[in-house]
Structure 1
Amino acid sequence: MDVHGRDLRYFVAVADLLNFTAAAEALYISQPALSKQIRKLESQLGAALFVRDTRSVTLTPVGAALLPEARRVIGAWETAEAAVESAKAAQRAVLSIGISTSPGRGILPAVRSRFATAFPDAKPVLRQVGWDDPTAGLADGSADVAFVWLPLAEDERYRWLVVATEPRLVALPETHPLATRDSIAFTDLLDEPFLALPPSAGVLRDYWLALDERAGHPPVIGAEVSSTEETYEALVNGDGVVLVATGNAPLIAHDGVVTRPVTGLSPCELALAWRHDDHRRLVRGYVEACASATGHLRRS
């Protein structure tokens, strides 16, 4: 038996109004067409659904038994239609991806291709955010996902996937006395002036000043920087040295600036982060695409 959902809606309309003419008007069809579809449904079921006479319409026992089930089927289908429309809308939506510095490392193209396969109608848009916001737009909602450096302040608000773990290097002017070394112990950098992120960067500012590895030795701040360009100019100007991730070294190690390995420092972690309470399919899809592209499993 193959009953059309439309016929069930017609049946429910007549059952609710107990009047074929009124039901036809409510359904925006003609009364003869409605009667024809009800007769077709009764033929399929092998039983009458209504008792009709010149003055009234009433449900038969079979009609009374069918009515609650017909309502359930219609409700389930309406729920399914809503879910489908929601999924279609998610695929068509814009996904804002926050970055403070390009993640590089071939990550963005690899993620983009996988994400496009899963969500061909979605539009991922990169959003550049200043270094004064270490969440790259997650905190104020201007980004849906973001490539960030760990640690994150208020980390209970976020989940993340680590996409790269690599050593921290030190960048310094090529004329600096320590630049002649193949590697530099962090203890030899303790009294050097350091370039620092803005105070609003909070725990991330502390991390790139390596406060945890200083054993209480306070950092000397030579200058504050808010972009790659400012960092390079401050280095060339001799305002201080700065710790950088290995993958980011090429952004500033040119024309008078060099980088050297540093011993005595823990490695740094680049992550894709999103808000803990954001369960949208588009966000989950980008996270899964990133996990596939980088070969990393979800960590938090």
Structure 2
Amino acid sequence: MDVHVRDLRYFITVAEELHFTRAAERLYVSQPALSKQIRALERQLGLHLFERQARAVTLTAEGEALLPGARALVAGWERTLREARTAGAGVSLTVGMQTAVGRDLQREALSALRKRGWRFSLRLVSWEDPTAGLADGGSDVAFLWLPVPEPVPGGLASRVLVREARWVALPLGHRLAGGDSVPFAELLDEPFVALPRAAGVLRDFWLALDEREGREPVIGAEAASPDEVFEVVAAGLGVVLLSEGNARLYPRPDLMHLPVDGLAPCELALVWRADDTRAEIAEFLTAFPPASPVTA
């Protein structure tokens, strides 16, 4: 019988939280999707793992018996995967990301490390997982826009590489598309394209919740990838905030990009697991100098 490591990780998280909503938040999946996956695992194993009541979730005797072995299997898989990535000559790392990085941040650094025998796999992950694979161990490091949600076992550490202004993408013909910039106050009543709810605080940041002074955003649509976002904006279903650099990385003839006045800047960071003490992670970080501090 074949069982996905992902499903065991889901089972372990629910067993630790004894609450499907909190477990779903840790795993960056929706609560209904998590419940469906756990039921599928129970059917596959022929075991009843949880007692589900209106206000409580408890492990059954079968679930209690499965938990230690499931933890050992997941830990063993993660250890084996790390060893496989570092096997042979040189170092192998998987780098997660959710949008194109550009800005010449990667090219020179990765090229220099490749010349020393390092190998890299670039992993593009949707915003359904705002950690770009760090949470499930699929990525060793990731280029991410802050803030990154917690909790992740062991925690996350980050180094800000770029600070940029936030811009807005508008469909051609939009009432605000003719100016040189857009005051954020002019966008408060506009429908926005939002990241998935699983993106958590990152979704909130790109909806600029902190600058809305309590006014709820109007959500015109949700999208899980840059291509989806820009298709929805071009269709006139909403506008979206993006970084200044990404406005240049994702040009489209059917969109207009303008700077937005009145918003704090956004930060692109290199992120890794705080408990990952491998020497190659520390060496990788030295190839990416941090952004200059903001001065008054």
Q: TM-score per shorter chain, which class?
A: 0.5 to 0.7
CA distance in 2, matches of 1:107, 1:151: 19
1:290 and 1:145 map into 2 onto residues whose CA distance is 12
Q: Give the whole-Å Cα distance in 2 for the aligned partners of 1:279 and 1:159.
A: 11
Partner of residue 247, structure 1:
245
Following the alignment from structure 2 to structure 1, what is the Cα–Cα distance between the partners of residues 186 and 98? 29
String of CA shifts for 1:226-247, please: whole Å, max 9, x gaps: 1121112111110000000011
**Structure 2 counterpart of 1:271, from 255, 269, 276:** 269
Offset at residue 89 of structure 1 (A): 5.5
Identity of aligned residues (%): 48
Question: Does the Cα contact within 8 Å between 2:93 and 2:140 map onto a contact in 1?
Answer: yes
Structure number having the greater helix percentage: 1
Instruction: Supply the AA of the counterpart residue of 2:202.
Output: L
Give SS of 2:177's match: helix
The one-letter code matched in structure 2 to 1:138 is: L
> In the alignment, does 2:235 pair up with 1:237?
yes
Match of 1:141 in 2: 137
Residue aligning to 1:153: 149
How big is the alpha-carbon RMSD for the aligned residues of Structure 1 and Structure 2? 1.9
Letter aligned with residue 199 of structure 2: A
| Aligned equivalents of 2:132, 2:263: Cα separation in 1 | 25
Q: What is the CA–CA distance in structure 1 between the aligned matches of 2:227 and 2:248, rounded to whole Å?
A: 12
1:5-30 CA distances to partner (integer Å, 9 max, x unpaired)?
Answer: xxxxxxxxxxxxxxxxxxxxxxxxxx
Structure 1 position 295, deviation (Å): 6.2
Superposition deviation, residue 90 in structure 1: 8.4
The residue that corresponds to 2:217 in the other structure is 219
Structure 1 residues 91 and 245: alpha-carbon distance in aligned structure 2, compared to 1, 3 A threshold:
farther
Question: Structure 1 residues 124 and 252 mapped into 2: Cα distance closer, same or farther (>3 Å)?
Answer: closer
Cα distance change on mapping 1:278 and 1:234 into 2, 3 Å: same
Counterpart residue identity of residue 266, structure 1: A
Name the residue aligned to 1:42: none
Q: 1:91 offset after TM fit, Å?
A: 5.9
Match for 2:104: what amino acid?
G
Give per-residue Cα distances to partners, 1:161-214, cap 9 Å, x unaligned: 111100000110121001011111101100000000000000000000000000
Q: TM-score, normalised by structure 2?
A: 0.66
- How many residue pairs get aligned? The number is 206
Find the residue that maps to 2:106 and give its secondary structure: helix
What's the counterpart of residue 193 of structure 1?
A: 191
Provide the residue aligned with 2:105 in structure 1. Answer: 107
- Distance in 1 between residues matched to 2:175 and 2:111, nearest whole Å: 45
Once the two structures are TM-superposed, the CA of residue 152 in structure 1 deviates from its matched residue by: 1.0
Q: 1:158 to 1:220 in 2, by over 3 A?
A: same
Asked if the contact 1:223/1:239 (under 8 Å) is kept, the reply is: yes
- Provide the C-alpha distance between the structure 2 equivalents of 1:213 and 1:136, rounded to a whole number of angstroms: 26
Which structure has the bigger radius of gyration? 1
Contact 1:115 1:285 survives alignment (8 Å)? no
Secondary structure of 2:251 counterpart = coil
**Aligned residue number for residue 9 of structure 1:** none
CA distance in 2, matches of 1:251, 1:198: 22
Distance in 1 (alpha carbons) for counterparts of 2:160 and 2:223: 25
Q: Whole-Å Cα distance in 1 between the matches of residues 189 and 282 of structure 2?
A: 45
- 2:232 and 2:114 mapped to 1: Cα distance? 40
1:90 and 1:122 in contact (8 A); partners too = no
Q: Deviations over 1:238-276 (max 9, x none)?
A: 000000001101344321101111111000000000000
CA distances 1:265-295 after superposition (whole Å, capped 9, x unpaired): 000000000000001111111111122xx66
The 1-side partners of 2:261 and 2:143 are apart by 26
Report which stretch shifted further, 264-273 or 246-255: 246-255
Q: Which residue identity is paired with 2:213?
A: A
Counterpart of 2:176? 178
Asked if structure 2 preserves the Cα contact closer than 8 Å seen for 1:149 and 1:270, the reply is yes
Deviations 1:137-160 (A, max 9, x none): 111110000000000111771111
1:130 aligns with: 126
Note the alpha carbon deviations across 1:21-74, whole angstroms, 9 max, x for none: xxxxxxxxxxxxxxxxxxxxxxxxxxxxxxxxxxxxxxxxxxxxxxxxxxxxxx
Deviations 1:86-127 (A, max 9, x none): xx958623200001111110111121133235xx22211111
Matched, 1:262 2:245: no
Q: 1:90 to 1:191 in 2, by over 3 A?
A: farther
Q: 1:295 to 1:152 in 2, by over 3 A?
A: closer
Unaligned runs of 5+ in 1: 1-87
Partners in 2 of 1:264 and 1:121 — Cα distance? 46
